Structure 1
Amino acid sequence: MEEPSSSREVNKIQTFVFLDIESTGLQPQNPRILELSMIAVSREDLLRMSQQCSSNGQQTPSKWSPPPSPPQDNCVPKLPRVLHKYTRLYYPWKIVTPAAEEMTGLNNDMLQNLGGFTQNSAQAIHLFLDLPKPVTLVAHNGSKFDFKLLKAEVSSVDYIEEFSDLQCTDTLRAIKDIDALHEKEDIQQITALAESFSVDDIIEDDSPPTTKRTRPDEAAKSRPSVSAQLNTCTPPGNQGHHPMLEVIGELPITPIKEQLTPSKTPATPHKLSYPQLSPVTPEIGKSCTTTSKVCRSLTYEGPGKRKFPRNMPYKQVNIYHRLFGTGYNTHRAESDCQALLEICGHYGKRFVEWADTFSERFSEVKPMWVKRKCFTVN
């Protein structure tokens, strides 16, 4: 976990506002907001979410039990009764890219009757944030996207001064730090447990050793002969002529394992060989629909970069599945806010303490884009 700066004062945040934004694209294209959603919860209710979940189905912690925060039972925290919600859609005054439309389900036709992001929109957000202070916005990877885009939209309508006391918390950084701290604590507990054992704690086994199996030729030498066994079983007066017994010259002896092993291993049958087909390279100018490996995926971050990273272990949906073993309806602003609230409620006290120490001022966030000045003629 990061060390707090000496100049940074640790404050106790009273209201956590979980934020999610759906936009027309990614940062290089100067995106605009399509959908904005916020869910606000108090500090006490956020801490209570973790406590309620850890009390369900948990045993009394032992000496070497893992730390109680966060709980590790795939329990989705129960949402508190007091929640403040705000969801609003805007017409972006910009073309929604096909990739963004596919992910969000929103397009220009759906939003054409709505207004864009105006000064009234910024004022409505400011009124919603009129909650017990300090107030912090919470978003996953918000330092690189959500906070910067919201700052650009608010700055474009000249309403940024009203958000001077607002703070922001990036859960991507927070969860990475908390997971690293949990891993460090697990290593320390395992090391302490290993050091607590000594040679005297090992229980000696006084049971007799298991009888070893003997080979057939050794067993034959140890048992009495057949004739001796018959003499002991023959009734007096009829020695050697007992009607119920039939004398066998020798008992069958199981052959030794080495005698059953063939001298030579049979040859492996030859495999059928097929002619190797040389790969066919599509000609220039023709469509590459038949060879999907040659096709390059759609991008809008620059040449060679994918639209969205495929393998990102700390994507919000991956964290949710890792903690709770299930998924949720992604790329819906309100659904993403609720999922992030449940994730942070799972981490509980650790997340709240991290936010108190490492939250940033919204006024210090760099806007994603700056509105161009209009050309006017005097």
Structure 2
Amino acid sequence: MASCSKRARVDEAAFDSFDEEDEQPSSSTRRDAPLATTTALELDGTQRFSPTSMEALRHTQALDPEPEPVQHRPTHLTNGKRKIQTFVFFDLETTGIFPSSSGQEVLITTSEHATARLNNLIHETKENDYPRITEFAMVAIDRETLTKSLRKMHDIEIELRTNDEDATRFVYTPANVHSRLINPGLTSAEWELYTKRQSRNSKMVLTKDDLERQHTLLQEWIGIRLFLENLPKPLCIIAHNGIWFDFRLLYGELRRHNVLHDAFPDEVYFLDSWHTFKDLDQQSLADVEHVLAEKNNLLSVAAASRSAEAVIVNPQRTRPGDNADIFESVPIDQDDVLIIHPVAETKKTPVKRPDSRSTDVHQSPSVAARRALFSPQKERHHRGDVPPLRSDHPLNFLCSVKWPPAKHNCVRQQDFMQNQWAKWTFDRHRAAAALRTPGTYGLEGLYKRNIGGHYNAHTAEADCQALAQVAMAYGVDFLTYADRVAARFPF
């Protein structure tokens, strides 16, 4: 975008500090320095992306000063059998933010929509509205490792609810990390303005002295591209509010340095986690509403359960005739919920505790663990001061050990109610309204709600690590969602 030779006035709004909140991304600062003259780097036998070859590219490519981003490739994985093999959690710190956009951001749920929205934002953004990058971080986790970690987090969730504890669900996850400080290439006047802003905002930790000694993004892009080149493909770059901020800003910086051509290796996709987490939560609420609507005989279940204990059993272990005098199972369409009709007898069906070494994320733990998932005590830990569950409350029956932590945390007991026929219903719209509270889908809010513990991640690398933890809290649903919605960059 804006070149060093013709830098227009600095829009002060581009240097405003920014708190990562519900609707928009958090970010911080950066600039460019003289080009190095090292030898060219060989990638796949082709000379690409050495500082020397980039210098030549800048002076030999005939580029329109303001080219419109064009979509050249398919916007999603064209082979339905292929799955994302590497998840790259991505974050930037910058000199500021984009001017506030007008209106509410529409939820994006398809790859085509994601590519089109990013393309439109790029086209609408003025050259002088782009801030500069000051820190660039990527945390890459392969699919197998991420799957193992989310299973560990699932086990921690079960243990915490079993023991009625409220502790962190953080899971250490091995990853490949590429993090670079970037010289944003500011003028003297711009540095003065940046320093003034930085001194007043504790979240902008990088000073002028920290950044002036660093390389520019143009110089660092050699290593960044090589890092991406060596990761298993297909690869998905994930940023929180990335369409509105990180991916749009990355385009601006690559455009400013005239290195948009062949900037990424093949089979690189992107995903905005802000839209992903919001869509997954809405799907969870819709699932609960659907189950209760189809199983409106909960009233009879509740009446029978006033003097008997409700137990969830594993459908795969229930055979015709087994314990027929104790339980009558009601089949449902959902694969993760089973409603049970307990009868007068209070004898319990023995349930074998699964092997703790099992890698099946859908395994059924002990009866005690199942009953603790939505205990009144646990509700008070997670929802605040709420009354104990009634014995006939649906959460005593709609309790699945397959649910990931994030799904448990978005279903509230106060959103269930009885209608005029004394049948239980779930008010999905009320539950969704609660999730629209400011800050709910900021990275900090998501981390506190789903992971717990102290959050003070306001550097690019720390934010990447926090984002990876939140993604794991959504379980295998996050992986399959990324496979379906990951999109191609429109540049």
Q: TM-score, normalised by structure 2?
A: 0.45
Match among 264, 282, 303 for residue 163 of structure 1: 264
Match among 178, 197, 207 for residue 107 of structure 1: 207
1:89 maps onto 2:186 in alignment: no
Q: How many residues align?
A: 243
Match among 258, 282, 285 for residue 180 of structure 1: 282
Query: What is aligned with 1:79?
Result: 172
- 94-103 or 157-166, larger mean C-alpha shift: 94-103
Q: Residues 7 and 14 from structure 1, CA distance in 2 versus in 1: closer, same or farther, beyond 3 angstroms? A: closer
C-alpha contact (below 8 Å) 2:168/2:452 kept by paired residues = no
Match among 113, 119, 123 for residue 222 of structure 2: 123
1:21 maps onto 2:92 in alignment: yes
Gaps of 5+ in 2: 1-73, 100-128, 308-436
Offset, 1:117: 1.9
1:343 maps onto 2:470 in alignment: yes
Q: Distance in 2 between matches of 1:53 and 1:204?
A: 34
Superposed counterparts of 1:206-285, under 5 Å: none
Offset, 1:73: 7.3
Superposed counterparts of 1:286-365, under 5 Å: 311-362=438-489, 364=490
The alignment partner of 2:297 has SS state of helix
Query: What is aligned with 1:149?
Result: 249
**What do residues 56-96 of structure 1 show as CA deviations (whole Å, max 9, x unaligned)?**
3627x9xxxxxxxxxx9765241223x10111101112235
Match among 68, 80, 83 for residue 12 of structure 1: 83
C-alpha contact (below 8 Å) 1:49/1:77 kept by paired residues = no
Q: Residues 126 and 77 from structure 1, CA distance in 2 versus in 1: closer, same or farther, beyond 3 angstroms? A: same
The alignment partner of 1:361 has SS state of coil
C-alpha contact (below 8 Å) 2:76/2:486 kept by paired residues = no
Q: Residues 156 and 51 from structure 1, CA distance in 2 versus in 1: closer, same or farther, beyond 3 angstroms? A: same
* Percent identity for Structure 1 against Structure 2: 31
The alignment partner of 1:138 has SS state of strand
Offset, 1:109: 2.6
Q: Residues 18 and 199 from structure 1, CA distance in 2 versus in 1: closer, same or farther, beyond 3 angstroms? A: closer
Amino acid paired to 1:127: L
Q: Residues 181 and 99 from structure 1, CA distance in 2 versus in 1: closer, same or farther, beyond 3 angstroms? A: farther
Amino acid paired to 2:456: N
Gaps of 5+ in 1: 62-71, 206-309, 366-378
Q: Residues 158 and 168 from structure 1, CA distance in 2 versus in 1: closer, same or farther, beyond 3 angstroms? A: same
Q: Distance in 2 between matches of 1:332 and 1:41?
A: 19
Q: Residues 44 and 173 from structure 1, CA distance in 2 versus in 1: closer, same or farther, beyond 3 angstroms? A: same
The alignment partner of 1:12 has SS state of coil
Match among 49, 52, 57 for residue 149 of structure 2: 49
C-alpha contact (below 8 Å) 1:122/1:159 kept by paired residues = no
Offset, 1:51: 1.0
Query: What is aligned with 1:259?
Result: none
Offset, 1:333: 0.8
Structure with greater contact order relative to length (CA < 8 Å, sep ≥ 6): 1
The alignment partner of 1:163 has SS state of coil
**What do residues 24-79 of structure 1 show as CA deviations (whole Å, max 9, x unaligned)?**
011243211100111000011112222112223627x9xxxxxxxxxx97652412
Amino acid paired to 2:91: D
- Which of the two has higher C-alpha Rg? 1
Offset, 1:148: 1.4
